[in-house]
Structure 1
Amino acid sequence: MKHCLEDLNIENLNIEMLHTQTGSGSPTKHVDEGFEYVRRVAPWETPQKHVPPEILGKIFVHCLDGEAVFIPPKASPSMPWLLGQICSRWRTIALEEHQLWDNVVIASCKFFPRLALEEVIRRSGESRIINLNHVPGEYFKIILPTLRRHCNRFQSLEIEITRPTATLLSEMCLFDRLESLEIHYGHALHTPNSDDPSRTEFSAPPSLRKLILSSDISDHLPLNNTRINPAAPFWERLTYLEVKNNTCVPIFTMLHILGQCKALVECSLLLCDDSGSIRDESERVTVPSLQLITAQSVDPILTDFFASLNLPSLRILKMVGLSEPWPQHEILALIDRSGCNLEGFYNADFTMPPECVMPLIRAMPCVAHVSLDTDAPIPCSTIDTIISENLLPYLVFVTAWFDSSHAALKLVETTWARSVSPGGGIRDGVLYIDSADIRADEEACRVLKRVVSQSGGSLGISVC
C-alpha cells in the first residue's frame, strides 16, 4: 500500500495553494480547509494505520487459517511473510503475533543458523507446534541442543532424516508435551559411521497420542531393528498408530505392541512375515478401544494376524494386500468377536471369491459402507437374496463389480425405497456397469437415469 489517495489529496492541496497565491482569496483559509479534509478522510484511505495492533493481529491469524509458515520462505511466500511486506507496522505486528508462528515448517536446509531457529521458537510463543521436515541426520544433531532447551514447547514434531540416529530415538522422551510424532527415514541409510538404531531402545513421552513411522528402505527401521519396550507408558496412551511405506513390521512384533495399546482408536499397519510363533486362541491380543484398522501385507499372513486379534470396539475394517487365499473364516470370526457391529468394510488388491460375499454380508447387519474387490462379478442371485431378505438396511455407500447392471441398479433403488429416514439408501459410491448390458435393457436405462437423478450426482456410475 503506497497511500496513493492520501498523496493525491496532498497534491491537489498544493495545486490549490498555488492557485490562491496567484489569485484572490485567503491562502491561510484554503490551507486550513485542505488539511482539515485530509485529516477527515485519512482513516478511510489508510485504515491499516489506524486499526489497533491487537485487532490487526486477530485479522492476520484469521487470514493465515492454519497455513504452515515455511522457513526459509517458499517461491510463493505465505503468511506472515506477505504481511510483513506491506509496511513496517504490519511487519512488526506479524513478527510479534505468536499464533502466526504456531505451525512452522523448517524445510531442508543444512545451514539454517541455530540462532535463527532459536528466534523462530521464541516467536511461536507458548503454543508449541513446530514441524521439522526433511532434516538430515547430521543437521538434527546440530539443532538438538536448541530443541532440548525448548523441549516442553513442542506438541507436534515431524522429522525426515536421511540417516538413522540413535540419538534421535533416545531423545524423544525429553519432549514431555509431545502429542504427535512422525519420523521418516529417507535414503542414504548405509552411510559410513552412521549410528546403529538396533542398539537403541525406541522411547517416547507418556504424553504421546499419535505416532507415524515410515521409511524409504526396509533395512533400517525404528520398529524392526530397534529394541522395543512394550511396557513403556506411551504405548498405553497411544490413540493413533500408522506404520507405512517400507516400514514393514513383523507380525509377531506388531501383536506384541498392540497388546499394550489399551487406548488405541485407529491404526494402519504394513505387516510382513517373521519367524516368531503366532499365539494360539487362548492368547489372543485384545485391543479394547480400536475402532478402525487398516491391514496391508504382501505375504499370506493376514490369516494368522486376524486370528490373533480380539477387537470388541471395531467399527471399520480395511484390508489391502495380495495375500492368498482369502481368509474368510478368520474375517467372519473377527467380526463375530466384535459383536457384529461393523459399519464399514473395505478390501482392495485383496480379491475375494464372489461366493464369499453373502456370508460376509450376513455377518454385518449394521454395515453402511461396503467396498468389495472380487475376482469375478457378483452374481444376480446374490443381489436377489440381499433384496428378498432385506439385508444391508443401512447401506449408503457401495463399490462393487456386479454381474448384472439391471440387478445392481435394482439394489440401489430398493435401498432408497425401504430407507427409514428421508434421503437414506445408497447415495454415494461407485457401480461398475457393462455398457452392452445397459444398451440391451431399456428398463435398466430408465432405472439408471432415476438412480443418478436421485443421488444428486454423488453416486458414481462407471460404464465399462
Structure 2
Amino acid sequence: MRSPHVITHVCSEWRHVALSTPMLWATIMVDYEDYDSRITSRSPDNDERLHTWLGRTGTYYPLDIAFVGPPRYESIIGAPLSWISSYMHRIKALDLSGIFSGLLTSRFEILEALALANHEWHVGEDKINQTMFPSLRRVVLHEEDELTPPRFIPWPQLTHLSLNADSIVPATLWIMLSQSLELVELHISLDSVGVANGEDDAVVPAINDPVILPHLDTLSVTMSLYNSLLSRSSFFLKSFKLGGPPGSFEIEPFLDIIRRMPSLTQIDCNSSVEVTPTLVASFASLNIAPNLEYLRMSSYWRIVVEDDEFLHMVSSRDRSGEPAVAELNLPPYTRIFRSHMPKRPWSSEYLAAVKDAVVDRRVPISETVHIYF
C-alpha cells in the first residue's frame, strides 16, 4: 500500500482532501525494531510523526495497526505498547512482532484479527485476559521456536486460526483445538512436533480423544499431524491442503483421507504426495471426492504425467461426455486442465499462485498442475 503522503504532495487541494479523509490514514505500520530505551525521544510515546499520523485518522474510523518491536535475540527491553491504549476501542486488526512492554488499560471492542509473531510481553501481559477481546475471530500465531500460546486468546469464539511454528507439544495443541468449537478455517504448519521434555519428534504421540470442530470447512495440515491428532475426528470439509516434505507420503494413505471427506470441493496436495499416473488415474472415479471443483498438484521436480492422462481424468468425471480442455500460452512449469464448463472460474487460484511466486523469490521453481472440474 502506498503512503497517503503521495497525495498530499500533488497540490494544495489534494492535500486538503487527503488530510480530511481518515480512511487514508487508518493503516498504520510502526517499526521500532531498533528501539533503545535510553533514547526517550525515540519512544513511541514521544514519536511526533506517529501521533500526527494517528491524529489524521479522526475519532471513529477503524484502525489496522502493525507494530514491530526489538527481536528477542537482540534485546531484553521491550518497546512500549502503552501508546495504543487510547485507540484500543478503534483497532480492528492488530499485528505485533518482537518484544513489548506496557499496560493496556481498556478493551479491544472491535478487534477482529490478531497476529503475533515471535512476541514476548515483558511487562503487562498478566493483566490481559480473554474478556478484553469480545469481537476477536481471527488469530495468527507465528513462532520460530516451540509455540506456547498466549493465555489471553479467547479460543471458543475464534472462526479462523493459523499456527506456524517450529514445534508444539501435542497436548497443548489438542487443548487449543478442543476449545475452538467455532472454527471455520484451520491452518497448521509445524517443522516438527515437540514432546513434553522439549525434544523434537517427527512421530506425534497419539491423543485418543477426537477433536470436535463442527463448523470447520477449510483445513491445511501435515499428514503426520492429521494421522496423530485429527484422524479420529469427523469434519465436513470443503477445502483440504496437505503439507509436508516433498514426496513424503504414499498415495493410498492420502486417498484414504480423501475418501472419508466426500464433501470436499477443493484439494491441494502441494508437493507432499508424488504426482504419478497412478495418483492421477485415481481421481478419474467419482467415488473419490464426488463434489470436487478444483485440484492442485505440485512437485519440486518434473511431473512425469502426460497431458492426455490429465485430460482423460477430467473427462471421466464429466457426466456431459464433453472432452476436457488443456489451456495454452501458460508460464513455464504450469499446466491447467479444465472441463468444458468448469464449476468455478478457472483463473482465480492460478492467478493467486502466480502472484505469490512473483512476490516471494524464495519459492523454488516447481511444476504445478491446476485442474478445474
- Shorter-chain TM band: 0.5 to 0.7
1:87 alignment counterpart: 11
| Pairing 1:136–2:38 present | no
Q: Percent identity?
A: 16
**Alignment match, 1:257:** 176
Scaled by the length of structure 2, the TM-score of the pair is: 0.66
What's the C-alpha RMSD, in Å, of the aligned pairs? 4.8
Whole-angstrom distance in 1 between the partners of 2:9 and 2:76 = 30
* 1:102 equivalenced with 2:21 (yes/no): no
Q: Is 2:188 aligned against 1:269? A: yes
C-alpha displacement of 1:353:
8.4
Unaligned runs of at least 5 residues, structure 1: 1-66, 69-77, 378-399, 432-447
Change (3 A) 1:179 1:359: same
1:160 to 86, 97, 101: 97
- Superposed, 1:168-179 pairs within 5 Å as 171=104, 174-179=107-112
Give the TM-score, by structure 1 length: 0.55
Conservation of the 8 A alpha-carbon contact between 1:209 and 1:238: yes
| Distance 1:247-1:127 versus aligned 2 partners, 3 A rule | farther
1:363 aligned onto 2:288: yes
Q: After TM superposition, which residue ranges in structure 1, 4 or more long, deviate above 6 angstroms?
A: 137-140, 196-202, 356-360, 374-377, 427-431, 450-455, 457-460
What is aligned with 1:8?
A: none
Q: Indicate yes or no: 2:244 matched with 1:294.
A: no
Q: 1:106-131: per-residue Cα shift (whole Å, max 9, x none)?
A: 34474264344333223212112232
Shift of 1:201: 8.0
Between the aligned partners of 2:299 and 2:289, the Cα distance in structure 1 is: 18
Match in the other structure for 1:347: 269
What whole-Å deviation, never above 9, does each CA across 1:130-169 have from its counterpart, x for those lacking one?
32243337899554222112211111111222x3x4x57x
- Secondary structure of residue in 1 paired with 2:179: coil
> In the TM superposition, what whole-angstrom CA distance separates every residue of 1:407-427 from its partner, at most 9, and x where no partner exists?
43444556678268xxx9566
- How far the C-alpha of 1:358 sits from its partner, in A, is 6.3
Shift of 1:183: 1.6
- Letter in structure 2 aligned against 1:291: D
Aligned pair in 2 of structure 1 residues 148, 196: CA closer, same or farther (>3 Å)?
closer
Bigger relative CO (Cα 8 Å, ≥ 6 apart)? 2
Taking a change above 3 Å as real, the CA distance of residues 407 and 154 of structure 1, as seen in their structure-2 partners, is closer
Write the mapping of 1:215-364 to structure 2, written as runs, cut at 5 A: 215=143, 217-219=144-146, 221-223=147-149, 228=151, 234-244=154-164, 246-271=165-190, 272-275=192-195, 278-280=206-208, 283-296=209-222, 300-312=224-236, 314-322=237-245, 325-326=249-250, 328=252, 332=256, 336=260, 338=261, 340-351=262-273, 362-364=287-289
User: Quick check: 2:109–2:135 contact (8 Å CA) kept in 1?
Assistant: yes
Which has the larger share of helix? Answer: 1
| Structure with the higher strand share, 1 or 2 | 2
In the alignment of these two chains, the number of paired residues is 320
Q: Deviations over 1:333-372 (max 9, x none)?
A: 5752x4x111111212322585566667533111122234
Q: CA deviation at 1:205?
A: 0.9
Distance 1:333 1:417 in 2: 25
- Alignment partner of 1:211 is 2:139: yes
